[in-house]
């Protein structure tokens, strides 16, 4: 194959083609890098507080000690991983309908945030919770008791959702 254009000779100067000075330059770069301050965080001791835009574990908003959710099922429908299962039932409250069962399978959840985006009631939001460890597949299925979070703890995210929706 005879390549006539954009060959090495055209692209590089003589010193670059010798290669050794460039290697030295590269080594110099990494050496300087070694002396820079490190950005590692000592995780279990030092924790990171995410911003409002962080998409952690999806949770249900609890307002006046009752969930906002009306079990419309849109989150379950839009969920690309089929992580959400909702069963609606009737309530005497004004909202008429509430989820008698609301389960998110955290083994399936991919943290895409579609459920939050589609929710007409701002009832499901992505929390800042990123520490999700469980020891059995069953423990990964979170029910309403685990999902309900008081609205006061979710102000950052609700504000973010409202601003960028």
Partner 1 sequence: MPHIYIDGRKIETQNGKTIIEAAIENGITIPHFCWHPELSVSGNCRMCLVEVGLPKRLPDGNFEKDSDGNLSISYIPKLQIACATVISDGMHVKLDSAKTIKAQEAVMEFLLINHPLDCPICDEAGQCKLQEYAFNHSRGESRFVETKNKKPKRTPWGPNVMFDAERCISCSRCIRFAKEIAKQDVLSFVQRCDKVTIRVSNGKRFDNPYSMNVIDICPVGALTSSDFRFKSRVWDMSFNDSICAACSRGCNTKIGVRNNEILRIEPKTNMHVNKYWMCDYGRLSMLPKLNTGRVLNPRIKQNGQTEDATWDEAIAYAAQILKKYKPSEIMFIGSGKSSNENNYTLAKFAKSALKSGNIDYYKRIDESFKDDLLRTNDLNANALGCTELGVAPANSAFAIENLATNIKSKSIKAIYIIDEDFDLNKELVDEILKAESIIIHSANHNIITENADVVFASSTFAESEGTFINVAKRVQYFAPALVTKENLHRMGMKLSRLDKFGAHNDRWTQKELRNSRPAWRVISQLAAQMSYNFGFIKAEDVFKEIANLFVSFKSMNYKLLEKHQGITLGKGDSPDPVIRNYESYYMKPN
Partner 2 sequence: MNNLIWILIEALIKAVVILNVILLGAATSVYLERKISAVIQDRIGPNRVGPFGVLQPFADVFKLFFKEDIVPKASDKFFHSLAPIISLGVAVAVYAVIPFAHYVEIGGTKYYIGIAPNLNIGLLFILAMTSVGVYGITLAGWSSNNKYSLMGGLRSAAQMISYELSMGLSLIGIILISGSFSLNDIVIGQANWKWNVFLQPLGFLIFLVSAFAETNRAPFDLPEAEPELVGGYNTEYSGMKFGMFFLAEYANMATSSAFITLLYFGGWQLPFSPDLLGLAEGSIGLAVAQFLVFFIKVVFFIMFFIWVRWSIPRFRYDQLMRLGWKVLLPLSLLNVVLTAAAILIFK
Cβ neighbours of residue 15 under 8 Å, at least 6 residues apart? 21, 22
Q: Is residue 60 a contact point for partner 1 (CB under 8 A)?
A: no
Local structure of residue 159 (DSSP, 8 states): H
Pick the closer one to partner 1 by CB: 22 or 143: 143
Count of residues binding partner 1 (CB under 8 A)?
A: 22
In this complex, which beta carbon is closest to partner 1, that of residue 61 or of residue 128?
Answer: 61
103 near partner 1 (CB under 8 A): yes
Q: Which of 137, 126, 136 is nearest to 161 (CA)?
A: 126
Stretch that binds partner 1, among 9-17, 43-51, 89-97, 109-117 (CB under 8 A): 89-97
Residue 33 binds partner 2 (CB under 8 A): yes
By the rule CB under 8 A, 37 interacts with partner 1: no
Select from 38, 162, 163, 165 the one that contacts partner 2 (CB under 8 A): 38
| Shortest spacing between CB 27 and partner 2, in angstroms | 5
Question: Judged by CB, which is closer to partner 2: 2, or 65?
Answer: 2
Can you tell me the distance from the alpha carbon of 80 to that of 135, in angstroms, rounded to the nearest whole number? 25
- Please say whether the dihedral angle defined by the alpha carbons of residues 16, 19, 20 and 23, taken in this order, is positive or negative: positive
DSSP H helical segments within 2-127, as ranges? 8-11, 14-18, 20-34, 74-78, 114-118
Q: Do the Cβ atoms of 104 and 139 come closer than 8 Å? A: no
Q: Does 36 bind partner 2 (CB under 8 A)?
A: yes
Alpha-carbon distances of 51 from 84, 96, 128, 145, 154, rounded to whole Å: 25, 34, 8, 25, 11
**Residue list 1-30, contact with partner 2 (CB under 8 A):** 20, 23, 26-27, 29-30
Please report, as ranges, the residues that interact with partner 1 according to CB under 8 A: 70-74, 76-77, 82, 85, 88-90, 95-97, 103, 105, 108, 120-121, 137, 141
């Amino acid at each position: 194959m005879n390549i006539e254009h954009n060959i090495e000779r055209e692209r590089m100067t003589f010193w670059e083609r010798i290669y050794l000075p460039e290697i030295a330059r590269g080594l110099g770069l990494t050496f300087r890098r070694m002396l820079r301050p490190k950005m590692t965080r000592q995780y279990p001791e030092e924790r990171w507080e995410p911003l409002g835009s962080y998409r952690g574990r999806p949770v249900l908003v609890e307002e006046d000690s009752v969930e906002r959710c009306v079990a419309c099922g849109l989150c379950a429908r839009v969920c690309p991983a089929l992580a959400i299962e909702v069963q609606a039932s009737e309530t005497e409250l004004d909202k008429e309908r509430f989820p008698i069962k609301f389960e998110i399978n955290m083994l399936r959840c991919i943290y895409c945030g579609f459920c939050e985006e589609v929710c007409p009631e701002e009832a499901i939001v992505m929390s800042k919770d990123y520490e999700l460890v469980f020891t059995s597949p069953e423990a990964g299925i979170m029910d309403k008791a685990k999902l309900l979070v008081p609205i006061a703890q979710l102000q950052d995210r609700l504000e973010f959702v409202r601003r960028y929706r």
